Amino acid sequence: KQEVTQIPAALSVPEGENLVLNCSFTDSAIYNLQWFRQDPGKGLTSLLLIQSSQREQTSGRLNASLDKSSGRSTLYIAASQPGDSATYLCAVFGGATNKLIFGTGTLLAVQP
């Protein structure tokens, strides 16, 4: 059974700092991995999608990497801003289950 874990569970940083969020998964037989952002009481916004054959994806100040063999992904946020404050979720889409399995989330607070 696929399990997805995110570390840390919560993170508070001053504005301008670069930061890394971690995601690990137990079954490396995945098709792709997505990073999402969720603001309080809202739906999920897709940030980045990494296919299993890719090593990283970039969008603006965000960079996500994938090491499928070790079951790890990281989301790097450069020059953080207060508007980045949200919960960040990683999710893997696996071959065995054909559905998206979510991690536990990281609650990020960027202090002005």
Residues that bind other proteins (CB under 8 A): 31-32, 34, 36, 41-46, 49, 51, 89, 91, 93, 99-100, 102-105
Residue 84 CB, nearest approach to other proteins (Å): 19
Select from 7, 10, 8 the least CA-distant residue to 85.
10
Structure letter (DSSP) for residue 83: G
Structure letter (DSSP) for residue 84: G
Residue 44 CB, nearest approach to other proteins (Å): 4
Residue 28 CB, nearest approach to other proteins (Å): 17
Is the preceding omega at residue 40 within 30 degrees of 0, hence cis? no
